[in-house]
Structure 1
Amino acid sequence: MYHPYFRGKQFDLLTIKESAEILAKSGFISIIEPVRESLSGLKRSIEALSNAGAIAALIVNPNYGDHTDSAEAIKKFVHEELDTHTNISVGILLTSTINTTEALSITSEFPNRPLYFIHSGFSEPKALAESTGSLNRDIKHVFLESHCGKLYQKHFTDYQRVLLRDGFKRQANRKYPDVEPFSDLHATFNDEGMNGFGDFLIVGDEYSESGGPAYAVAIHLTFIDPDMDDAMYTYHFKSDRQDTPTDPAGKFYEALVKLVAAVKEPNSKILRTSAVEEFLGLYDRKHFPGLGYIKKLSMKHHIEVLANYLG
């Protein structure tokens, strides 16, 4: 059903690890693109998913990060470290730089794993559909909406299909509006002829190794609005000060004051998830846990919101 797409940075992997139980209970399937050379954090996250009984797809040919020149370390990781983890499918990222022959070559390296083809700029959909039609494999196709139109998707109507929409448009924190639309795909994926949907949580598809100096601190919280046909929106709670990159802790508290006020409003549409409760605890203690930790809480909240809606 829901397929959150993670790139394997530290706090993305911690989000997976700490959300393993709710991912499993909700039947959510994480898609993980490893971007760090060290795979120890990835291993811990996958172990947490396995222990909870959750399913995930691990991309073995990432497009970003430390493994783009050679994916041999990831392939070795799957064969040696994940041998007993039967809940992990192999994801193959289909970008403009890969062809059908190369994609099929990767599938042959993992004959006993279910397959996820993630379509992101690939130019040979017809050839791939014809070539995989005779494979006796469990295959799902995931389409990044910005790369795959209806005619493209039509080649794979005989398969389980997932539509991935980037609902989070990244920009400088100070430029975010107070609230903006995120997506309605959680409510409309069946109307799109899909078996499931996904997104990039509150991180977005745009990849960067690290953020620049935070002139403004923003906390991003998604919510579903029943007054707007259950569409999802994002609150951007921003610090008051936005002119210098100093005092991130103080700026976090300024943003947090606005979050707490919105949560405590009568008829607030913000779900009181475990992540929101932790934000309230940080407010009470006036504690700044770091910008990565804040991102992790926002991602966990997003997962819990969708689990509540779809449950």
Structure 2
Amino acid sequence: MYYPYFRGKLYDLITIRENAELLATNNFIPIVEPVKQTLNGLTKTIEAINTVQGEMILIVNPTYGDHVGDCKALNDLLLDTFKSNSNILVGILLSQTTTITDIQSICDLHKNSRRIAFIHNGFTNTSDLNTYIHSRIQNFLHIFIEKNGGKLYRGKFKDTTRILVRDSFEKRANRAYEDTERFSELHLTYQDEGMDGFGDFLIVSDEFSESGGPAYAVAIHITFIDTDDDDVMHIHHFKSDRFDTPTDPAGKFAEALAKLDREVNSGISKVKKTDAILEFLDLKSRGHFPGLGYVKKLSMQHHLETIADFFSTKR
């Protein structure tokens, strides 16, 4: 049903590992596009998913990061280290530069071992792809990155399992965010779109960068379901008061965290007190700054917990 898309940085992988049971219990299937050369963190993440008998999609031909142009290490990881784990799907990114030969080569490597997930993101040769798909007995999953896969494109893959991934997080300078804004309604409308599931890039966005710039302002991004707006998901941007220089990130985090604390303890907040929120509150009580990567991890965890809570109440 829900397919969160991660780029495979350090805290992305830690988020998956620490929430593996939550993901598996709720039938959430994370998509991972590895961007780092070292595979230690990725290996630990797959092991965590296996331990709870969950599923994951591993993209073996990333378009960003250290593995661009050479997917041998990622294919070998699945063919050797995890050859008996069919719950890890092979993800093939279909971009503007992907050829049918590329697709055939990867599919042939894994033809006897696991399912294939096509991640459509700018690919145009749909005629030859459909011809190839219909010549195979493999079970294919189709995932569409919405900005590069409109309804007309998605309609060419009817009668298949289809997932729509929307980038709902608009990346801006932290100080430029509104305090609160609408985030997404795709969790409510994906079936109206003719889809079997939905996904997003959590609170990170599809825009890729190797590392963040200097933190002139610190922001904590917290999603919530607005029951007064037909269960549409909204997002709070709790921002630091100061944003003139890139100094004192710890102090700026404390400023943003104080605003989060006031909101969730206001008595009228729609933010769920998830495990991630409770950890934020614990950080405030201890006056501890864990680093901006860890802050992002907690925000991603809260997003996963919020979606899980929403669907658990609808069952």
Taking structure 2 as the reference length, what is the TM-score of the superposition? Answer: 0.97
AA in 2 matched with 1:150: K
Aligned to 2:266: 265
Instruction: Verify the 8 A CA contact 2:86 2:115 in the aligned structure 1.
Output: no
AA in 1 matched with 2:11: F
Aligned to 1:48: 48
Alignment pair present for 1:104 and 2:104: yes
Aligned to 2:190: 189
AA in 1 matched with 2:130: A
Aligned to 1:301: 302
Alignment pair present for 1:180 and 2:176: no
CA distance in 2, matches of 1:237, 1:251: 11
Taking structure 1 as the reference length, what is the TM-score of the superposition? Answer: 0.99
Give, in angstroms, the shift of residue 134 of structure 1. Answer: 2.7
CA distance in 2, matches of 1:19, 1:294: 15
Secondary structure (helix, strand or coil) at the match of 1:14 reads: helix
AA in 2 matched with 1:178: D
Alignment pair present for 1:63 and 2:59: no
Give, in angstroms, the shift of residue 158 of structure 1. Answer: 1.5
CA distance in 2, matches of 1:127, 1:227: 47
Structure 1 unaligned blocks of 5 or more: none
Give, in angstroms, the shift of residue 151 of structure 1. Answer: 1.1
CA distance in 2, matches of 1:48, 1:117: 24
CA distance in 1, matches of 2:15, 2:43: 13
Secondary structure (helix, strand or coil) at the match of 1:155 reads: helix
Secondary structure (helix, strand or coil) at the match of 1:96 reads: coil
Give, in angstroms, the shift of residue 69 of structure 1. Answer: 2.7
Alignment pair present for 1:10 and 2:10: yes
Show the 5 A alignment for 1:120-131.
120-131=121-132
CA distance in 2, matches of 1:215, 1:91: 37
Aligned to 1:138: 139
- What RMSD, in angstroms, separates the aligned Cα atoms of the two structures? 0.8
CA distance in 2, matches of 1:133, 1:63: 26
Alignment pair present for 1:198 and 2:199: yes
Identity %: 53
Give, in angstroms, the shift of residue 107 of structure 1. Answer: 0.9
Secondary structure (helix, strand or coil) at the match of 1:301 reads: helix
CA distance in 2, matches of 1:255, 1:226: 25
Secondary structure (helix, strand or coil) at the match of 1:140 reads: strand
CA distance in 1, matches of 2:261, 2:273: 11
Structure 2 unaligned blocks of 5 or more: none
CA distance in 1, matches of 2:55, 2:304: 15
Aligned to 1:94: 94
Runs of 4+ deviating beyond 6 Å: none
Aligned to 2:170: 169
Secondary structure (helix, strand or coil) at the match of 2:4 reads: strand
Secondary structure (helix, strand or coil) at the match of 2:301 reads: helix
Alignment pair present for 1:33 and 2:33: yes
CA distance in 1, matches of 2:138, 2:21: 28
Secondary structure (helix, strand or coil) at the match of 2:228 reads: helix
Give, in angstroms, the shift of residue 169 of structure 1. Answer: 0.8
Give, in angstroms, the shift of residue 267 of structure 1. Answer: 2.1
Stretch of structure 1 that moved more, 166-175 or 78-87: 78-87
CA distance in 2, matches of 1:309, 1:200: 18
Secondary structure (helix, strand or coil) at the match of 2:45 reads: helix
Q: Deviations over 1:247-271 (max 9, x none)?
A: 0000000000000011011221001
CA distance in 2, matches of 1:129, 1:163: 19
AA in 2 matched with 1:211: G
